[in-house]
Structure 1
C-alpha cells in the first residue's frame, strides 16, 4: 500500500517573528498578536522573505518621517541581490516607478504634477459633482433593493463612487472602470501565486497604456493629459514608465482606499447605533465619523514598503538596514499606548492624537482631502436617506479582503429599511 507524500510545509519562522497571512483575515487579531511582541516586530512575508512591521503609533509616526528611512527599492537588499522573484505578490508595491518608490528630489519631481490636482480648493470644487454621483448611485441601490429590501452596498455604492471620481480626474473612459477595479484587486492581493500576479500586472499595465495612448491622441483637462504634457513638454520631468506607474498608483490608491473607508464606516455605524444617533442628531459630525473610522478600522492595514538606510533603533528594537518594512496603520490606530485603554472602542467624539491612517511625513497621502470629502458626502447622503439602514448578514460572515494590505470586506449586504 502506498500513500501520497505529505504536503510541503513552510519552515517555521525564526524565534520572535510573526508570519503574515498572505490570504488575509482579521487584521485586528493579527495586530493584537503583533503588538504583544512590541511596537516594532519581525515578520515573515510571503515567499519566506524576512521583514519588519512598525505597529505602535509613536514609533510609526517617527519612522514615517525619519531622514534615514527610504522608499527607493535600491535599499531593499533581497531585491537588489536577486532574492525576490518576478512573480512575488508584493513586488509591484516595491518597484512600480513613481512617487511611492522615490525619495528626496526625485520624489518631489514625481509628486509635483499630481499635487496640483489635489489642492483644497480643487477638491472642494468637486463637491457638487460628488453629491450628484452619490444621489444617482443611491437611486440605483434603492432600485436594486426593491425585490427583498437588500442590496450589496459595497458593489453598488462604495465602489462605483470613488472609481467614477478618480476616473473623471484621470480622463479614463468609464468602459475601463470595472476592469481596472478587478485588476487592482488582483494586484494588491498578497496571497496570489506567481502566475496570477504576473498576469494581473501585465493586464493592468496594458489597460493603463491604452488610457495614456487615448489621452495622448486627444488631450483634455485631466490628470493623465497633464502627466503626458510633463513628459513631452516639461524637459523630461517624467519618462514613459513613470507616467504609467503614476497612473497605476492613482487608480489603485484613488479608489481602493476610499472604497474600504466607506465600507468600513457603514459597518462601524451599523454596529454602533448609539454613535450613528449622535451624528444623526447633530451632536457629532459626519467628518468626525470618518476620522474615527480611519483610526478604528483603517482602510489600509499594513502598507509596503520602506527601508532603513542604516541600522535604525525605534524604541528598543533595531530595524536592520535593507529589510522591507510594513507601515502598520491599522495596528497604530488601536495602539493603547497612544489612544488609551479604550482604543478598541468606536467613539466618534474621541479626542486624542491624530491617526496615521493616511500617512505622515513626505509621503503623506495626496488624495487625503478627496477621500475625506467623498466619504463624508457618501455617509451623510446615505444615512440621511436611509437612517434605519442595517447589515443584512452578521458581521462575522462577511469575507475579509484578500490579503494583509487592504482592510475591509469583499461584500456589504444591507437592508435599507
Structure 2
C-alpha cells in the first residue's frame, strides 16, 4: 500500500486474483492507486457495482467530470490514456451516450450477429484443421496463438471489413491498448499506429463501401443529420468495437479451456450431460472475468456510499475516479459463498458483471458467447484427451490489470489413435 493507505494496483497484472482478494478484504469499496499515482475507488461488491453503474450521478466522461483530465494532469503517455481519451459511447454520459449507442446499435444489430454463426463455425473448423497440422509438426501447440486469438480477430476483422493483411497490425495495437505496463514510448507509439490504421480503414471504406460495420458506421455519420457521428467519434467507436470485440473473447475462450483442463471433473460433468457449454461459459465469465478491472467512471457529485447499501461513512467525492473491479466482484463470497473462487459448472448462481451492467452493457456480448459456444465443444470433441503441456503455475498472465488471460496456453493434443 502507498502512504495514503491505497492498494497499489500492479500494472503488470501478475496476481490479479490475489490483488482482488486484498481489495475485497478492505470492504465493498476501497482506495486504489493506478499507474503514475492516479487515485481511484475500486468497487468489488456486485450489488454496489450494479447501483453505481446505473446511477446518473456516475459518469464516464472525463471531459465533464474528472478534474485531473480537465486540468490537463493526465498525460498522453499514461498507460490508460486511450481508455479515457476516446470519444465514443464508452466514455459518453447521459444524452450523448444514448445518441452514440443508438447509432452503433443500428449498425451492430442482432440480425447481423446471428448471421455470423455459419461463418464462425467455418473459421473454427479451419483453425482446428490448422491445429492438426501444427500438432503433426510439434508435440506442443499454443492454443491461445492457434485458436483463442485468431478466431475472434478474424471474426471482428470480417465484421468491420478490415483487410486480412492488416490483421497483424490490428493485433499489435490492440495488445498495446490493453498493456497497462507499457512504457511512455510504447503508449504514444501505439496511439499513433492505432489511429493511422483506423484512418486508412475509414478512407478505404468511404472510397468503396461494403456490407460491413465500418461502412455502416460511416453511413450513420454521414446520413443521420444532427445525430451523426463526428469524425473523432467514428474513429473512436471503431477503437472500442474492434478492441473490445476481440480481446474479451480471446480471454473467455482461453480461460474456459484452461479451467476445463485444470478441472477435469468439471469437463466430465459437461460430457455426461450434467452441465452445458453455456454453463461452462457463464462460470468462466464469473470466476475469470475477461476484463478484470475497467477504467474509469467519475462521481458527478458527492456520493454517500451508505445510501447505496455500501459501508456507512464512505463518501466518493465529486470528481473522484471509480474503478469497476469485475474480477473481485465475480469471486465475492458475499454473492457466491465461501467457495466463490472455485470453478464449478454445476453452480446454480453464476451471476456476473463480466459484460458490464446497465446502459453500458456490452453490445458484443452475444457475439462473444456465440464464438465460445462454437469453439469449445468443437475443440474438446476433436481432442478428447487434450492436456496442458506445462505445469499450471508456469503459465504467465498477459501484462495487464485490465485484460485477464494467459500469454500462451501450451497443450498436448493427444489425438485419438
Place the TM-score, normalised by the shorter chain, in its bin: over 0.9
Q: Residues 319-349 of structure 1, C-alpha deviation per residue, up to 9 Å, x if partnerless?
A: 2221221111111000000111110111111
Aligned to 1:262: 253
For residue 210 of structure 2, the aligned residue among 196, 200, 220 is 220
For 1:395 and 1:355, the matched residues in 2 are separated by 25
The yes-or-no answer on 1:138 pairing with 2:135 is no
Deviation of 1:309 after TM superposition, in Å, equals 0.7
Q: CA deviation at 1:178?
A: 1.4
Alpha-carbon distance in structure 1 between the residues aligned to 2:155 and 2:138: 30
* 1:382-411: CA deviation from partner (whole Å, max 9, x where unpaired): 111111111111121111111201101111
Q: Tell me, what secondary structure is at the counterpart of 1:43?
A: strand
SS of alignment partner, residue 408 of structure 1: coil
**Paired residues of 2:282 and 2:350 also in contact (CA < 8 A):** no
The equivalent position to 1:198 in structure 2, one of 188, 192, 195, is 188
Match of 1:297 in 2: 288
Please list every run of 5 or more consecutive structure 2 residues that lacks an aligned counterpart in the other structure. Answer: none
Q: Structure 1 stretches (4+) deviating beyond 4 angstroms?
A: none
SS at match of 1:100: coil
Are the aligned partners of 1:118 and 1:369 in contact in 2 as well (CA < 8 Å)? no
RMSD over aligned Cα, in angstroms?
1.2
Moved more, 348-357 or 89-98: 348-357
2:206–2:218: 8 Å Cα contact kept in structure 1?
yes
Residue 184 (structure 1) aligns with = 174
CA deviation map 1:264-289 (0-9, x unaligned) = 00000000001111112222110110
**TM-score, normalised via structure 2 length:** 0.95
- Mark the runs of 5 or more structure 1 residues left unpaired by the alignment: 1-11
- The answer for the alignment partner of 1:398 in structure 2 is 395
Question: By how many angstroms is 1:227 displaced?
Answer: 1.1
Do the aligned partners of 2:29 and 2:43 also contact (CA within 8 Å) in 1? yes
For 2:44, the equivalent position in structure 1 comes to: 55
CA contact (8 A) 2:261 2:388 kept: yes
Cα-to-partner distance string for 1:213-263 (whole Å, 9 max, x where unaligned): 111100011110011112222115101101100111111101100001000
Alignment counterpart, residue 68 of structure 1, candidates 46, 57, 63? 57
**Structure 1 residue 147, shift from structure 2 partner:** 2.6
Cα distance in 1, alignment partners of residues 299 and 292 from structure 2: 20
Q: Which residue of 2 aligns with 1:5?
A: none
Residue number in structure 1 paired with 2:326: 329
Instruction: Normalising by structure 1, report the TM-score.
Output: 0.95
Q: Secondary structure at the match of 2:137?
A: coil
Q: Distance in 2 between matches of 1:269 and 1:171?
A: 34
**Matching of residue 377 in structure 1 with residue 377 in structure 2:** no
> In the alignment, does 2:241 pair up with 1:250?
yes
Could you tell me how far 1:16 is from its partner in structure 2? Answer: 2.8
**How far apart, CA to CA, are the structure 1 residues paired with 2:327 and 2:6?**
19
Kept after mapping to 1: 8 A contact 2:107/2:217: no
Please state if 1:14 is matched with 2:3: yes
